[in-house]
Amino acid sequence: MARDVRGRAPAGPKPRIQAVAAAVAALFVLLGVLGFIPGVTTHYGDLAFAGHHSEAKLLGLFQVSILLNLLHLLSGLVGLVLARRIAGARLFLAGGGAVYLGLWLYGFAIDRETAANFVPFNDADNWLHLFLGFGMLVVGLLLSNDVGTGGRLDTPIDRP
């Protein structure tokens, strides 16, 4: 059997959970970048650092702020790093899904005209957080069911 430069057996195709995690993470990076582009973000001149006073809307629908765009970029970059390992992909998708469901609950419960709406949230954001959170959680849990149960074992995320 042929070996790679380091003497290890050649790697097969990545498990689907890693590919999905990388795709979701890349989407977050893309959304973070698009939030800073005038034209893609309507009312770009009204983009505030944080809070419900930001009137800028990504694609004319989702209320955004500089803080939210930076959070999208950061979560996307973290997701790309975590997607390199099976355990990291699971953590990113299932953990990130749980976080987005928490954001949905928070956005649903708060008065959006107060300082509690610091991210900011509108109705479109709340629906997006619900579907994104549920989708990430389900994919993170379902795609990882048979990974590591007979094929290659994954190295724990805290070890090289």
- Output the average pLDDT for the chain: 81
CA pair distance 157, 75, nearest whole angstrom: 17
Q: Note the pTM of the prediction, 2 decimals.
A: 0.77
DSSP H helical ranges for the chain: 16-34, 66-82, 86-90, 96-109, 123-142
Mean per-residue pLDDT for 41-57? 78
Tens digits of per-residue pLDDT, 77-130? 999 999 999 889 999 999 999 999 998 998 888 877 777 777 778 888 889 889
CA pair distance 160, 32, nearest whole angstrom: 29
Q: What is the DSSP letter of 123?
A: H
User: Which is nearest to 149 in space by CA: 17, 60, 24?
Assistant: 17
CA pair distance 129, 125, nearest whole angstrom: 6
Percentage of the chain with pLDDT > 90? 33
Mean per-residue pLDDT for 139-143? 86
Tens digits of per-residue pLDDT, 8-25? 655 667 788 999 999 999
